[in-house]
Amino acid sequence: MRRTSEMDKKASLEFHFLIVFTFVVFLIMIFFGIGAKLYSAFLGGASKDTLNNFDALTENIQLMIDKQSSFEAQTMIMYLKNQHYVFGLVSPETLSDFNKDPADYPNKCKHKPCLCLYKKIKNFPAKPVKCKSFDDNVVFHGYGLGKNKIIESEQKLLGSLKFYGTEIPEQNPSLYSDYPEQAVLEYTPLVITPPTEDLAQDLYIEKFVSNTKTHVFITPFLKKEEIKQRASLLGSCPPNSDEKCIGMRRNAYISLTAKEYCYFDEATQRCLLKKGVESCVLGKRITHPCMCGLRYVEDYGKYCVQRFDNKLFVLPFNCSVIRAKCSDYCEAITATQDCDNDEAYYCRLDPCGVRSGDADRACRAVQENGRTRCEAVPVP
């Protein structure tokens, strides 16, 4: 009897262990299964599966578009395998910017704006792996890869190499004319490339609605301060703003005739209604609130200047100190021959129009021996 009791006890312990072990395995399966899905939904990069990451990107964009707001922004981790690319295509006609035949617009796009995933650049544009089409009013923009070339090689018979490639052009300005001037960058058609093999990248994704167009801007190249500035320029006024400004676009006129302007105050994080603000006097030091074009200015001591092409800029210096050379920008703020970060920015922007009469050269910040200078360089 005693032996039988010990056997029963042992069997009971083994059965109990089996139940606990099975339950633990079940929990682990649930955790990794659901956890991976949640991670993929929020970050897009739960695995190194390029197709899953592409699907997560298109789903996020569609969710942003579906929201009844004029501005949305988010960041997303995305992984692309080597020799995989994402192109944002607007219309068959825009393929000519890549020197490609509009007739090769992917059939999967159904002649609509679409996001397409490609394996190997030789398959662009006609042979994507997968595409997601969007409404006709969607326009895609990229940034940071302008004038770069994507080049791949493929080994042929007898060891010879054949090269394939495409150059990323500047985007036609008519496609981003809805953006306020302060938010305009050197936009390109949307192209997402793998930065390095087995490396994910953090994408900034933006939706901006204006004049019936829905603009989708994606890039991994913006800094935190630049993202913050775009939100200030393009975002809507929050509910704690002055009544007339609630839901209106930040830093923008709501009535030109009454000169009513919704100014977003960074300190209080709300929009303040400004009425009857006069235009700044061009080329004169700003001493009171005024409008430099469509921009409200309270930065006393700065200048509102107009370039030869009638574009207006708010600068910490007057263009009278920029004589006739690009190098003058390096002395505009610091009075030294080396450009600091701000002077290098104004060098590239050329708000004073130093190179206005020379279409073949432009002011650019050049680094040499640890120093940054502003020089006139040939335009590619």
Strand partners for 378: 361
pLDDT of residue 359: 72
**pLDDT tens, position by position, for the chain (380 residues)?**
444 455 454 455 554 555 545 554 444 444 444 443 334 444 444 457 999 999 999 999 999 999 988 899 999 999 999 999 999 999 999 999 999 999 999 999 999 999 999 999 999 999 999 999 999 999 999 998 876 788 887 766 555 677 788 889 989 989 998 898 778 898 999 999 998 766 789 999 999 998 889 999 999 999 888 898 898 889 989 999 999 999 888 888 888 777 889 988 888 989 999 998 889 999 999 999 999 987 889 889 999 999 988 889 999 999 999 978 999 999 999 988 899 989 988 998 899 998 876 778 889 989 888 899 999 988 76
Q: How far is CA 90 from CA 20, 107, 110, 113, 360, in A?
A: 56, 14, 12, 4, 30
